[in-house]
Chains A and B, each alone.
Chain A
Amino acid sequence: MTDWTIFVPTFLAATVEWVEAFTIVLAVSLSIGWPRALSAAASALVFLAAMTVVTGGVLNLGAGMTALELLIGVLLLLFGVRWLAKAIARAAGLKAFHDEDKEFAEMRDALGHGDRHAAWLIAFKGVMLEGLEVWLIVVALGVKSSHPFSAIEGALAALAAVVLAGAIIRAPLAKVPENAIKFVVGAMIVSFGTFWTLEALSPGVWPAGDWTLLLLFGFYLMGGLAAASVLRARRAREALS
């Protein structure tokens, strides 16, 4: 059975990362061909899968421990605060939106001066680095869930969706609303992090129990949007004066 509260954030977060990884692999494929580019991507994915199995297994040995709950809560906070901050900055116009077309063009330009071995490594490293964030979310959310495979299912479903869309479009997936997804995922990850951190420090502290996650998500999402709106207005005022 799938735990949708784990599947959805993992699917959304993984989609953003796989889209960025796809852009890199696509650019590399035009330089060294699809078979080599795909072999680099596949090697990185195998490495990430092994990391997930090993770290997930090790953490599962301590599942249920308060220290583990605290560790995962803090890791999610470290990760989620950054995602939420980035999403607020982009929505407020303080940071440029991630442009897959521009990224693709820059990558193509850079690859024009490199050799085939370097291009393979770029594809491997690109998928690896983007995938590390997926690994972190899969392991952190999976270990705390009663259905640990829901996180893996979410990441794999996102990978399948991006590969399918990429195979059909054969261009960078620039139309994916990356910042909107980042806003939602950032709010979700910070919610999980807040919930588990305080639950580990003081079991049963949340008055609404598991339903608190929904309240926290609403708080961070609406609060983040409000913060973006305030920052955008302040920026407009500063531009006028």
Chain B
Amino acid sequence: MNAFFKILFGDIYNLAFVGCVVAAAAAMVHFGAGREAVYAVPALLLAGAGWFATR
């Protein structure tokens, strides 16, 4: 079961990172910055992938 959850969600860092990015995207959309979110979210995700690569 552990392996199943790990495949689905990754580790706690991965889960927290993606959760934060989605929360930030939701906040930006909520406060009327949806157009900015389309640039900010991919940049954040790529930066995150780069950071995870060093871990």
A residues sitting closer than 8 Å to B (CB atoms) are 74-75, 77-79, 81-82, 84-86, 88-89, 92, 94-95, 129, 132-133, 136, 186, 190, 194, 197-198, 201-202, 205-207, 212, 216, 219-220, 223-224, 227-228, 230-231
Interface residues on B, range: 20 to 34
Structural contact, B18 and A202, CB atoms closer than 8 A: no
Structural contact, B37 and A84, CB atoms closer than 8 A: no
Which residues from B are CB-within-8-Å of A219?
42, 46
Kindly state the separation between the CA atoms of A138 and B55 in the bound complex, as whole angstroms. Answer: 28
* A–B complex contacts, Cβ < 8 Å, 16 sampled: A77-B22, A78-B10, A81-B14, A84-B46, A85-B48, A88-B49, A89-B52, A190-B49, A194-B42, A194-B45, A201-B25, A202-B29, A202-B34, A205-B38, A220-B46, A231-B54
Could you count the A-B residue pairs with CB atoms below 8 Å apart for me: how many are there? 106
**Nearest CB on B from A229, distance (A):** 11
Structural contact, B21 and A77, CB atoms closer than 8 A: yes
Structural contact, A84 and B49, CB atoms closer than 8 A: yes
Kindly state the separation between the CA atoms of A206 and B29 in the bound complex, as whole angstroms. Answer: 12
Structural contact, B41 and A194, CB atoms closer than 8 A: yes
Which residues from B are CB-within-8-Å of A231?
50, 53-54
Q: Would you list the 6 A-B pairs with minimal beta carbon distance, nearest first?
A: A85-B52, A88-B53, A89-B53, A227-B50, A84-B49, A202-B34
